[in-house]
Amino acid sequence: MKKVLVTGGSGLVGYGIRSIQQDYPNYDFIFLSSKDANLTDYTETCKIFELHKPNYVIHLAANVGGLFKNMTFPVEMFEDNLMMNYNIVKCCDRYDVDRAVLFLSTCIFPDKTTYPIDETMLHNGPPHFSNAGYAYAKRIMETHSSVYNKSYHNQSPKFVNLIPTNIYGPNDNYNLANAHVMPALIHKCYLAKQNNTPFTVAGTGKPLRQFIYSLDVAKLIVWSLENYHDFEPLIVSPGEEDEISIGDIAQYIAHEFDMNQIEFDTSKPDGQYKKTASNKKLRSLYPEFCFTNIQDGIRDSVKWFIENHDHARL
């Protein structure tokens, strides 16, 4: 049985992997949270690897948040992720891990680019200013792991870099000050329903995003452990035709709460207008994979939040 160490195991995607782990009896998943170790500290990170001796690593842990967190705490977003990612890559090599899946994000792609973006365009220009700290830390992790692959693992890569689009689902971070757009909207709509007030959406609602359900991401991560052998990163996303506006997402969420009043606060920034990503490469490798419909995913996500509100991350 393969030991699989999952950092960030208490987060959104970690919860997704927990939810499907029974489908993979050949893997012994070990889920870490921030309570188990400070991964920005190299000595503590080494101790975790020495304790568990993993065959595989899935690195999900990150200092992560939405637009406003990125703009408010750029130093922390850069330094925390830089140190954490360095330590994980270094330990994967030092302790001879067989495979490691590292998590990037489409927000790290160049701001000025052509669409759709694909895996070859990652370093073609600077990312959007609003999340530069986080984006550059993630780019450096991709570069760090790539030089290891090319220097020591040039027959088959030890490190796999996955690039998901906007992830949503049960057990997200719903803190209104630093959540991503989907969980923030779910929490806002919940409060509006409770308080009988309008559901207010920051910005115009016009920006476009591709959303992927967390359990779909979990399945693709586990698939990639054994089935993805390319040195290039892999975009993990529904197709371009599934791109949807923030305004439409708000409408779907409002429908689940039986809310009719939606207001857009246009004094708030929109962030990057679009980040359209191509999943052509993923489709060529895994054509039979079926993505969760966005309305079904939102229905399940809202249901989870309502049922688990008292112990959700607010």
Quote the CA–CA distance of 33 and 149 in Å, as a whole number: 27
Determine which one of 134, 190, 213, 228 is catalytic: 134
Strand segments, DSSP code E, in 266-312 are: none
* Pair 9, 18: CB distance under 8 Å: yes
Q: Where are the beta strands (DSSP E) in the chain?
A: 2-7, 27-31, 56-59, 99-103, 159-164, 166-168, 199-202, 208-209, 211-213, 234-236, 244-245, 262-265
What is d(CA 210, CA 186) in angstroms, rounded to the nearest whole number? 17
124, 113 in Cβ contact below 8 A? yes
18 backbone dihedrals φ, ψ, rounded to 5°: -55, -40
- Which candidate, 180, 64, 60, places its Cα nearest to that of 133? 64
Q: How many CB atoms lie within 10 A of CB 241?
A: 7
Has 134 been annotated as catalytic? yes
Place of tokens 């049960």: 170
Catalytic residues: 134
